[in-house]
Chains A and B, each alone.
Chain A
Amino acid sequence: MAQVTLRPTRPYAYRLALPGAVFAVIAVAVVAPGLLTGTDPLAADPLHALEGPSAAHWFGTDHLGRDVFSRVVHGARHSLSIGVAATGLAAAVGVLLGLAAGLAPKWLDEVLARSFDVLATFPELLLALLVIAITGPGTANVIFAIGIAQIPNLARVVRAQTFVVRRAGYVEQAVTFGLPGPALVVRHVLPNVLGPVLVLATIVLAQSIIAASALSFLGMGPQPPAPEWGAMLSEARNYMRVAWWQALFPAAAVAVTVVSLTAAGRVLRYRFEGRDT
């Protein structure tokens, strides 16, 4: 439950420290994986297949003798880029639709709002699978599918926020002084709607990364030999009796990333909206 804190800055900084450190490592892995590992994630070495963690291979080797550490590091780019792209797509379309509903005449708003509500009742993974059934598997299609599945939630938040902003004193004043509609939306409504969207986007990003790795795990995402975390887990499942490390490290990578993102998203939400859960 939200508690009234007199000195709000310190606890937040403290709670953001750990996720921040994780993001820093992940950012390096995404931008310059070469800094963390010099090994090629695709280089197979069948003579050293399924070897446990050692000084040469920190996370061991997989069934083809590829270095699991290198694959986890390089996998960050695959796994995160799908999540980020899907979130970007959902945010762009969600903001447009939400703004449209919030500013539209009442009947149009009713239609749009009801559609968001109903679509939001569908589990996102199912919507994503429906899209993939049509487009077929693959990285771009997974981005598209997850993005579409996340739109209704974002659009709802934007719509609700647009209603709040619309009634604000500064908007009323701008109208009074004759600011034309489009300028009003761009200069006053949009910037004030975006705050909560950015906070929600952190959580949506976390969920998109889960969805992306889940779909890859199910074989719908990047195809082998791409080192995507979910796809790696799916391969590792067959060798778990002999090589726990092949499954454990990609699993931990997904979990740590998403836990950090969710934790950060909650801190941000508490900070900007005073809500804890």
Chain B
Amino acid sequence: MSATSAGGSAATGGTPVAAGRTPPARPAPPLPETSGRPSARTAGRGLLRAMARRIGSGIVVIWAAATTAYLALLAAPGDTVDILIGDGPDTPEIRAGIIREWGLDRPEIVQYLSYLGRLLQGDLGRSYQLQRGVGDILAEQIGPSARLAVAAAATAIVLAVLIALVTAGRGPWARRAVSGVELLAVSVPTFVIGIVLLSVFSFSLGWFPVSGDEGWKSLVLPALTLALPAAGVLGQVLREGLEKALEQPFATTARARGLTERALVARHALRHAMLPGATLVGWFVAQLLTQAIITEAVYGRPGIGRVVLQAVTGGDMPVVMAVVILSAVVFVTVSTVLDLLYRVIDPRLRSS
């Protein structure tokens, strides 16, 4: 949705801010314990501490997701039992089951705690529309969605690096072209991109299937639909990083040593350019998660997106709540892993 939110910070869980004036505050780096190059030992301790902090804030985000979902349930007008049932079958036995499962006859705080307790045991509740455990439904549908997300992420990164490599250092026209592409990327809704691709490549040229999920062919257009906007934003950030890196003194030194421009970019500059790109990780993951729902709808693909839409339309709250929590878990996991990778890319971060 908010593709303008290019101001996130990977270090705080990658909070995307639409044009936020202040990027989310990064935890202040502790003062280096030793001056100069950090020893291996302090670096290791620094990494451990950073990991602990990262995992701690990740747990807070997941807890907040669970609580938000629960508050949404409480805030809804009407009887909680009715809301949980949604459009599902409504019999006295099912009602009694819900009251037992959610403990609706107990005080609210106890209900909340037991809800958290069940989540901790991996129990995501029961879908009252499908009469099955939510965990099973999601496990069944996550395959196609995960394939789509991974394919889209890979495509987006490759495209973004290509944009950056082709346009960096090519003067103002290249800058204008890339920022134009970026403007389109944040402004054109995903379903519009999907419809256009579908119309050209499936309906007119007949290269790809119109809907469904059969083999790699049906993955190409959905992955491209998800990847194009992300690549536009990421490409611009990488390009700027690359240009800045190529102006640094180390680039001059490397050139003086006789390194070709291509080797300079491949071995040194790209690494530097990846750093600002890494701050977009949170935005990128959020983008993939939500736009996948729309992309799956455009291409009629099975997956979590279809489950969510059915649940939202039918008011099947346990499923919706579980998806909110699941997305928080994915978000936290990916941004934590990438944040640690960030330290691999840039050794300077290892000391703090």
Interface residues of A (CB under 8 A from B): 1, 115, 117-137, 149-150, 153, 156-157, 160-161, 196, 199-200, 203-204, 206-207, 210-211, 213-214, 217-220, 230, 233, 236-237, 240-241, 244, 247-248, 251, 254-255, 258-259, 261-263, 265-266, 269, 273, 277
Contacts and interface: CB of A to CB of B under 8 A. Distances in A.
Interface string B162-205: 00000000000000000000011011111110011011000110
Contacts of B240: 1
Contacts of B287: 123
Contact of B189 (A130, A160, A214): A214
A240 B236 CA distance: 33
B61 interface: yes
26 contacts: A1-B240, A120-B16, A122-B327, A125-B294, A129-B320, A134-B72, A137-B313, A149-B1, A153-B2, A156-B17, A157-B19, A157-B22, A207-B1, A210-B187, A213-B189, A220-B312, A220-B313, A233-B191, A240-B198, A240-B203, A247-B199, A255-B192, A258-B189, A262-B187, A266-B183, A273-B21
A129 B69 CA distance: 11
A121 B230 CA distance: 17
A251 B313 contact: no
A269 to B, nearest CB: 6
Given A160-B21, A203-B18, A255-B187, A133 B196 contact: no
Contacts of A125: 1, 290-291, 293-294
Contacts, number: 192
Among all A-B residue pairs, the 6 with the closest Cβ atoms: A123-B290, A134-B76, A125-B290, A123-B286, A259-B187, A118-B64
B115 interface: no
B323 to A, nearest CB: 8
B19 A210 contact: no
A198 B73 CA distance: 33
A200 B203 contact: no
Contacts of B236: 277
Contact of B22 (A118, A123, A160): A160
A133 B317 contact: yes
Interface in B188-234: 188-192, 195-196, 198-199, 203-204, 210
Contacts of B83: 134
B282 interface: yes
Interface string B280-312: 001000110111011001100000000011011
Interface stretch (B7-15, B99-107, B135-143): B7-15
Nearest to B294: A214
Scoring B19, B282, B309, B328 by chain A CB atoms within 10 A of each residue's CB, the highest score goes to B19
A160 B19 CA distance: 13
A132 B76 CA distance: 10
A248 B184 CA distance: 16
A120 B15 contact: yes
A277 B6 contact: yes
Contacts of A129: 293, 308, 312, 320
A247 B204 CA distance: 14
Contacts of A251: 192, 195-196
B20 interface: yes
Contact of B60 (A118, A128, A150, A211): A118
B235 interface: no
Contact of B1 (A124, A233, A248, A254): A124
B1 A210 contact: yes
A196 B236 CA distance: 24
Contacts of A115: 64
B65 interface: yes
Given A135-B76, A136-B315, A241-B210, 15 more contacts: A117-B15, A121-B286, A123-B2, A124-B2, A131-B72, A133-B315, A153-B2, A156-B17, A156-B24, A211-B1, A220-B312, A233-B192, A241-B203, A255-B188, A255-B189
A200 B240 CA distance: 23
A239 B172 CA distance: 43
Contacts of A266: 183
